[in-house]
Amino acid sequence: MLKICRSKVNVFSVAGQNDRKWSVPGYTRFNTGRCILSATVPSSTQVEIAARFRSTRRRTLALCEPLSPEDMMVQSSAEASPVKWHLAHTAWFFESFILREFLPGYRLFNAEFPWLFNSYYASFAPFPEKRLRASFSRPGLDEILRYRKHVDESVDRLLGANPEPEALKRIELGVNHEEQHQELLLTDILHAFFTNPLRPGYLPGAAEPKFAAWEGKNSEGASASGDAHSLRFQEFPGGLSEAGHRGLGFCFDNEMPRHRVWLEPYALARRLVTCGEFAAFIADGGYRRPELWLSAGWDAVKNNGWQAPLYWTTESDGRWSVFTLRGEQPLARLEAAPVSQVSYFEADAYARWAGRRLATEFEWEAAAEGRPVAGNLLDSGRMVPAPAAERSHNQAPLPSVEEPTQLFGDCWEWTASAYLGYPGFQPLAGSLGEYNGKFMSGQMVLRGGSCATPAAHIRSSYRNFFAPETRWQFSGIRLAS
């Protein structure tokens, strides 16, 4: 692991597996354990923000430990970005929106970086086409790591100079931005390794604790044959409810303002749809039956040749295998685990096949609000969706039979809600207003986080969003009725 030798804040440990290693000047190695945008007042004290800044920056580097410099150059799809770019862009964010404005006398590390590592902030600076990021052989990895160290030291100077409240808010925003990129880094490297003919694993071996053997039925009542109708559901009375961030702690601008919504009575499945259940959908001709699909979804099936979730492949004997961050796994071993890397279109088609539907984002939030953020998140170290019957070391005891499980972690849950601004939504001022608001068209909302989401990053009001055909995220399915 890589440590900034100033504080003892733990970060998630990822063991390296490559012979070739790189190092960061001024950093030393140590063994580690575990380690949103607000337009109002700072949500945390200066000490808390400083500690989280340092631990988050260390965690990003720790996540790169299993990778070679060559791995960090790969961009395997237009949706993804090279790991090297993630390392530079997250430093760019602190430099562009915090250091240039709030640290007197700050000098840019490189005058070309403000536009080179801009992602999509059109009002801030020009930027290269996203699909060309893998062609950035220069600057080299060593220079990008020096850039990160330069930015870290500059933010530390700012934090030590009694910064104004707006600077603290921006630093907290930058931390949450980097946590988003930690998840993106993992999803992008998973896709990159999947496209590699050698199919290398990001981490070696199966997750610990090992996947539970699925003997007949699991504790949720799901049969190994993939009988979705054996799911248990929790009923909710509906009525007048409130949605959106309560105003305590950090949030992104798209979680505000809190407002009232009316919910009809509804029910949510107690767990996520499993790989075994989704395999039954495939076996029943799910990808060959247009009546199950939205029109745009059926077009996506035909145009892209979809026959199964992303990362599912068939062996010579016809059996499915699933590629994960821990390498190729036989589907028979993952039947009880949640199906992942499915699009909104696939989630919607599966729900229709099962005689159910997807929840709205407000139904999901009403069910999750007030529950502890506990589940198979990045901090567990598993990095693969886990069966509902299992618990990671950081999970609370399983709820009673009446309560849903897996609300946080494992897989982001597609909802039936389009990504739109709440009544009275106001984006942040200036270029930061492009962070969320400009994407409120043609996207669907996901809730709950995944096995690659930092636990400190997620909450019941958190709104993720992607285009409905997106499949490379850890996205899964919870049924509703």
Q: What is the pLDDT of residue 15?
A: 33
Are 410 and 476 contacting, i.e. CB atoms less than 8 angstroms apart?
yes
Type and span of the H or E element at 185? helix 165-195
Contact (CB, 8 A) for 103 and 54: no
Indicate the helix (H) or strand (E) that contains 321. strand 320-324
Q: How much is the pLDDT for 378?
A: 97
Closest CA to 152 of 84, 60, 65, 54: 54
Is pLDDT of 236 > 90?
A: yes
For residue 26, the model assigns a pLDDT of 35
The larger pLDDT score, comparing residue 121 to residue 414, is at: 414
Over the stretch 154-203, which tens digit does the pLDDT of each residue have? 999 999 998 999 999 999 999 999 999 999 999 999 999 999 999 999 99
C-alpha distances out from residue 84 to 148, 172, 307, Å: 11, 23, 32
pLDDT digits (tens, 9 = 90+) for 241-295: 999 999 888 999 999 999 999 999 999 999 999 999 999 999 999 999 999 999 9
Describe the crossing of helices 83-94 and 141-159 by its angle, rounded to 10 degrees.
30
Per-residue pLDDT, 28: 31
Q: How many CB atoms lie within 10 A of CB 437?
A: 15
Q: pTM for the complete prediction?
A: 0.85
Residue 248: both structure tokens together = 């305590």
pLDDT, tens digit, 9 for 90 and up, residues 134-153: 888 899 999 999 999 999 99
Using CA atoms, how far apart are residues 255 and 104, in angstroms rounded to an integer? 33
From residue 195, give the alpha-carbon distance in Å to each of 192, 199, 201: 5, 7, 12
At residue 365 the predicted structure's pLDDT band, cuts being 50, 70 and 90, is very high
CATH class of 228-480: alpha beta
- At 418, is the secondary structure helix, strand, or coil? strand
The reported pLDDT for the residue numbered 44 is 63
CB within 8 Å of 452: residues ≥ 6 apart: 182, 183, 186, 187, 378, 383, 474
The residue assigned the tokens 């399983």 is 398
Q: What is the pLDDT of residue 281?
A: 98
